[in-house]
Amino acid sequence: MTPSQPAQSTTPAASASRSDAPVTTRHAPKPATGATIYSVAERAGVSIATVSRVLQGRAVVSGATRQKVLDAVEALHYVPLGAARSLAVRHHEAYGLVIPELTGPYYSELLMGFETRAAELGQSVVLLLANGKSDVPGAVGHLATRVDGIAVLGSAALPPMLARALRGRKPVVVIASSPPDVPGGDSVELVAAENVHSSEHLTDHVLDHGRSRLFYVGDPDQACDISERYAGFVAAHTARGLVAAEPVRVPFRESDGVAVADRVISGELDADALVCANDELALSIMTRLQDAGRDVPGDIAVVGWDDVMTSRYVRPGMTTVRQPVHQLGALAAERLHQRVDGATALPAAVVLPTEVVLRGSCGCRPEAPTGAALSPTSDPLHSPESPS
């Protein structure tokens, strides 16, 4: 499946359903008297046909006109009639999950955790892939009319305008973000894995091996959890009176890792250790370096994050950080279920523990095929069992 494919619906029977029809919804804590499509058109200075086209996400409307309509919708707290009716009921027996794409092991593992727990609770799952969508808020707004609650990976697909529209109507759980980045106030819950302390611990361990030219590979601006991991990387340097290098800002895919390795091979990137945002980057970098005759970890150490299965069986084994991705998805489904059943939102984020796993790619002598795990770090409100 590619990011440009239509949204999918997964159920215990694995049925498919579209959920990307672009309809933008708006709702205020108290309905605005007389807010109609006519008043929106009047405020925006356009025809009702234009308002309708904007709300349906049609591309024939110019960007400037579209923004005027959206501003009017926001100012008047207007909710399209059909969307308002659907938002007000809870009988769909389905939960929505919004993720960027399905490529890579992280997203599939998260989806499996979410769908498995939802199925145990008797719920189906409607999946929305955000990458490639021209109107993500509209697609999420339409999704909200078809499900009882929504889980979103990160906050990019949940802008403040949409969070206000869903407030008090649909439970929302944001996965892998931080409270300042999550709009919607106390109506939106956050579940995440710990990042900063494990990243600091991992970086400190690499520095203990005598490495002095460390680079962090990954773009902290692309995701909150990556930003937190870079913060841990910086903290480990600061604690030793060192200045951390600026990150090597690349996306998190295999091809980007190969490009980074080529920069090391050419001498453009003078590094003796690479701390990577995920295992996909780390594994592709290590493989490319080895193919070019570089010794890992003799010439350069490479460490990752996620502890995907491949990390255990490459040689040398990949030193990484294990995070409970399956549990994270399951927890998001569980919290949505509790919210739909009437539970109030938790006052603080639920943070699951992570742990550094030592193998050979950092310079350690491998002790076992699966690696030696250091003590997990956590900051849980309700800490489920640490991943094994």
pLDDT digits (tens, 9 = 90+) for 99-154: 988 888 889 999 999 999 999 999 999 999 988 888 887 788 888 888 999 998 88
Boundary (domain end) residue, out of 45, 78, 111: 78
What band does 155 get if pLDDT is binned at 50, 70 and 90? Answer: low
Boundary (domain end) residue, out of 46, 62, 78: 78
Residue-number span of the structural domain to which 33 is assigned: 28-78
Question: In sequence order, what E strands does the chain have?
Answer: 8-10, 94-99, 124-129, 149-153, 172-175, 188-193, 214-217, 273-276, 301-303, 320-322, 350-352, 355-358, 372-373
Q: Is residue 236 part of a domain?
A: yes
pLDDT digits (tens, 9 = 90+) for 363-386: 998 655 555 565 555 433 333 333
Are 204 and 61 found together in one domain? no
CA distance 227 to 223: 6
- The closest alpha carbon to 351, from 331, 336, 334, belongs to 331
Can you give the length of the chain in residues? 388
Structure-token pair, residue 92:
């769909």
CA distance 347 to 188: 10
What band does 193 get if pLDDT is binned at 50, 70 and 90? Answer: very high
| Residues contacting 341, CB < 8 A, separation 6+ | none
Boundary (domain end) residue, out of 78, 95, 110: 78
